[in-house]
Amino acid sequence: LNTINTNSYPVLIGKKCWGEMSRFIEQKFSGSKIIVVADSNTLLHCYPLLEDNCTVFLSAEVIEIPEGEENKNIDIAIGIWETLLQLEADRSSLIVNLGGGVVSDIGSFAASTYKRGIKFINIPTTLLAQVDASVGGKTGIDLNGIKNQIGTFCNPDAVFINPEFLNTLPAPQLLSGFAEVIKHALITDKNYWKYIISENPTEITDWEKLISQSVIIKNKIVTEDPYESGIRKLLNFGHTIGHAVESYSLETDNPLLHGEAIAIGMICESYISSKLCGLKEPELLEISNYISGLFEPYWLDETIYHKLLQLMMHDKKNENGKIYFSLIESIGSGIYGVSCNTDIITESLDFYKSITVTE
């Protein structure tokens, strides 16, 4: 069992975290009402594990929300608040968010606002939520289909990460979360990169080691810059182009998962790094060959380039109409705040095509 202490709460990682979780809840919340927020899938696949391993959950209430990003919205949040009222939850109650990033974002948002904020803990069940959403204190919902427009910064009391949950996670979801792991290595840690490229994500058995390393990296960055005024921007590597491709794909019959789009973004932005930040050609090829070997190729037709560029114009890092990127100078060394012209962005999309399309 691995414990990583953030500024305000512990993250416990390991197959043996059940015992610690029971003790934690019994010590801090004995006599409190415990309310689990789960989605339809995590209720089916993950909740039984909790009931089997932690007796405190035998008397818990459960709020089930429908699965999927389209449900991370204000109507579902209102549903959670109303159910909390019906269950007579008060400020001594504990919310337990059991699920991927959708459940932890909306459950934490509901908890952080209900009666001006009640305590919550997170039990992330997807790789993405374990390595990414588990630290940083961001909660939120989408508004009119635009992601994360409403939310709070609010920390849980604790996070318990059990890699066993990954056993039931569909393979594409696992790989999607792995994109963020790759990003953590590329922006901060060459040794970690060497370790991950020696592993096949579908055959990894020691998830504890990998999740711990990613949580350590993310925690270090968000502790230094909680509100994203500087170094936290590094976490956006791959995301300027990745988000544009993701948004575009969601309007088509072939929608991409978040990490699948970020994988494309990381290849393109590594190319831009080689043009603007001195990333050496062999490292560019090492990165792009590794990532393109893991993810299915995605067809980027030249006729959609202008749409992608338009979408990039809405990126949150932009200033004065310029597109700013978080890039890498070498593997393990990120840099943020690099502006890039549209010609190089276009070339980077061509580069992605050149390495993924086999004639």
Ligand X SMILES: NC(=O)c1ccc[n+]([C@@H]2O[C@H](COP(=O)([O-])OP(=O)(O)OC[C@H]3O[C@@H](n4cnc5c(N)ncnc54)[C@H](O)[C@@H]3O)[C@@H](O)[C@H]2O)c1
Please say which residue, 86 or 168, places its beta carbon nearer to ligand X. 168
The one segment of 16-24, 85-93, 126-134, 200-208 that binds ligand X by CB under 6 A: 126-134
Query: 141-143 and 158-161 as β-strands: parallel, antiparallel, unpaired?
Result: unpaired
Residues 17-46: x/- map of binding to ligand X (CB under 6 A)? ----------------------x-xx--xx
Residue 214 binds ligand X (CB under 6 A):
no
Residues 242-261 that bind ligand X (CB under 6 A): 258
Please say which residue, 146 or 313, places its beta carbon nearer to ligand X. 146
Residue 196 binds ligand X (CB under 6 A):
no
Say how many CA atoms lie within 13 Å of 218 toward its Cβ.
27
Residue 61 binds ligand X (CB under 6 A):
no
Residues 282-341 that bind ligand X (CB under 6 A): none
Residue 265 binds ligand X (CB under 6 A):
no
From the number of C-beta atoms within 10 Å of its C-beta (0-12, 13-18, 19+), residue 287 rates as buried
Q: Minimal distance in Å, beta carbon 181 to ligand X?
A: 12
Chain centroid to CA 96: 18
The one segment of 21-29, 168-176, 225-233, 238-246 that binds ligand X by CB under 6 A: 168-176
Residue 156 binds ligand X (CB under 6 A):
no
Chain centroid to CA 195: 21
The one segment of 131-139, 233-241, 271-279, 337-345 that binds ligand X by CB under 6 A: 131-139
Please say which residue, 151 or 334, places its beta carbon nearer to ligand X. 151
Task: Give kind and range of the element (H or E) at residue 62.
Answer: strand 61-65
Residue 128 binds ligand X (CB under 6 A):
yes
Q: Which amino acid is at 354?
A: S
Residue 102 binds ligand X (CB under 6 A):
yes
Among 17, 94, 121, 133, interactor with ligand X by CB under 6 A: 133
CA distance 175 to 263: 10
150-to-85, 216, 319 alpha-carbon distances in Å: 22, 27, 21
Among 83, 125, 270, 274, interactor with ligand X by CB under 6 A: 125
Phi, psi for 23 (deg, rounded to 5): -60, -45
Judged by DSSP in three states, 63 sits in: strand
For tokens 């029971």, the residue is 22
Contact by Cβ (8 Å): 244, 113: no
Q: Minimal distance in Å, beta carbon 300 to ligand X?
A: 23
Token couple for 170 = 């569909």
Residue 14 binds ligand X (CB under 6 A):
no
Say how many residues touch ligand X, by CB under 6 A. 30
Residue 238 binds ligand X (CB under 6 A):
no
Residue 164 binds ligand X (CB under 6 A):
no
The one segment of 96-104, 231-239, 242-250, 350-358 that binds ligand X by CB under 6 A: 96-104
Residues 68-87 that bind ligand X (CB under 6 A): 68-69, 72
Any residues with CB less than 8 A from the CB of 26 and at least 6 apart, and which?
Answer: 56
> CA Rg, the chain, in Å?
20
CA distance 298 to 151: 32
Closest CA to 270 of 256, 257, 260, 282: 282
Q: Minimal distance in Å, beta carbon 218 to ligand X?
A: 9
Give the CA angle between residues 103, 144, 98 to the nearest 5°. 0
Site residues (CB under 6 A) for ligand X? Answer: 39, 41-42, 45-46, 67-69, 72, 99-103, 105, 125-126, 128-129, 132-133, 136, 138, 147-148, 165, 168-169, 173, 258
